[in-house]
Amino acid sequence: MTPTYEVVSIKRAEPPPNTDGANWYQYVIASDDTNTIHGCRQGSLKDVTSAVEVIVAQLNERHAKKRKKEKKS
Protein backbone atom coordinates (compact mmCIF):
# COMPACT_ATOMS: atom_id res chain seq x y z
CA MET A 1 0.00 0.00 0.00
CA THR A 2 1.24 3.49 -0.85
CA PRO A 3 1.77 5.76 2.14
CA THR A 4 -0.35 8.87 2.58
CA TYR A 5 1.59 11.82 3.95
CA GLU A 6 0.18 14.47 6.26
CA VAL A 7 1.39 17.39 8.35
CA VAL A 8 1.84 16.27 11.95
CA SER A 9 3.05 19.55 13.43
CA ILE A 10 4.46 23.00 12.73
CA LYS A 11 6.06 24.75 15.70
CA ARG A 12 8.10 27.90 16.18
CA ALA A 13 11.80 27.02 16.48
CA GLU A 14 15.21 28.51 17.03
CA PRO A 15 17.14 29.28 13.83
CA PRO A 16 19.21 26.33 12.57
CA PRO A 17 22.96 26.57 13.28
CA ASN A 18 24.87 29.12 11.20
CA THR A 19 21.74 30.87 9.90
CA ASP A 20 20.45 34.39 10.31
CA GLY A 21 17.01 35.82 10.70
CA ALA A 22 13.93 35.24 12.74
CA ASN A 23 10.60 33.49 12.30
CA TRP A 24 11.81 29.91 11.96
CA TYR A 25 9.47 26.96 12.22
CA GLN A 26 10.12 23.25 12.53
CA TYR A 27 7.70 20.91 10.79
CA VAL A 28 7.03 17.19 10.86
CA ILE A 29 5.42 15.27 8.02
CA ALA A 30 4.54 11.60 8.48
CA SER A 31 3.03 8.81 6.44
CA ASP A 32 0.75 6.05 7.57
CA ASP A 33 3.70 3.67 7.58
CA THR A 34 7.09 4.41 9.17
CA ASN A 35 8.27 7.46 7.17
CA THR A 36 8.74 10.71 9.07
CA ILE A 37 10.21 13.90 7.62
CA HIS A 38 11.53 16.70 9.83
CA GLY A 39 12.37 20.09 8.38
CA CYS A 40 12.86 23.78 9.13
CA ARG A 41 11.58 26.75 7.19
CA GLN A 42 11.71 30.50 7.68
CA GLY A 43 8.71 32.78 7.26
CA SER A 44 5.35 33.56 8.76
CA LEU A 45 3.32 30.69 10.15
CA LYS A 46 0.86 31.14 7.28
CA ASP A 47 3.62 30.98 4.63
CA VAL A 48 5.35 28.01 6.24
CA THR A 49 2.05 26.14 6.58
CA SER A 50 1.27 26.74 2.90
CA ALA A 51 4.74 25.61 1.84
CA VAL A 52 4.57 22.44 3.93
CA GLU A 53 1.11 21.64 2.55
CA VAL A 54 2.58 21.88 -0.98
CA ILE A 55 5.36 19.46 0.03
CA VAL A 56 2.76 17.01 1.37
CA ALA A 57 0.69 17.26 -1.81
CA GLN A 58 3.79 16.62 -3.94
CA LEU A 59 4.78 13.60 -1.85
CA ASN A 60 1.29 12.13 -2.11
CA GLU A 61 1.18 12.76 -5.86
CA ARG A 62 4.59 11.19 -6.40
CA HIS A 63 3.65 8.10 -4.39
CA ALA A 64 0.29 7.81 -6.17
CA LYS A 65 2.11 7.75 -9.52
CA LYS A 66 4.51 5.13 -8.20
CA ARG A 67 1.57 3.01 -7.05
CA LYS A 68 -0.10 3.35 -10.46
CA LYS A 69 3.08 2.12 -12.18
CA GLU A 70 3.29 -0.85 -9.81
CA LYS A 71 -0.28 -1.87 -10.68
CA LYS A 72 0.50 -1.76 -14.43
CA SER A 73 3.49 -4.09 -14.04
Q: Where are the domains of the chain?
A: 5-72
Query: How many Cβ atoms are within 10 Å of 41's Cβ, its own excluded?
Result: 17
Question: 56 with 4: CB under 8 angstroms?
Answer: no
pLDDT at 20: 86
CB-based contact 69:5 (threshold 8 Å): no
Model pTM above 0.75: yes
Which pLDDT belongs to residue 70? Answer: 62
Rg (CA), the chain: 15
Give the pLDDT of the chain (73 residues) as one tens digit per residue. Answer: 556 999 999 999 999 999 989 999 999 999 987 789 999 999 999 999 999 999 999 999 988 876 666 666 5
Q: What is the pLDDT of residue 34?
A: 79
Chain-centroid distance, C-alpha 27: 7
How high is the pLDDT of residue 65?
Answer: 74
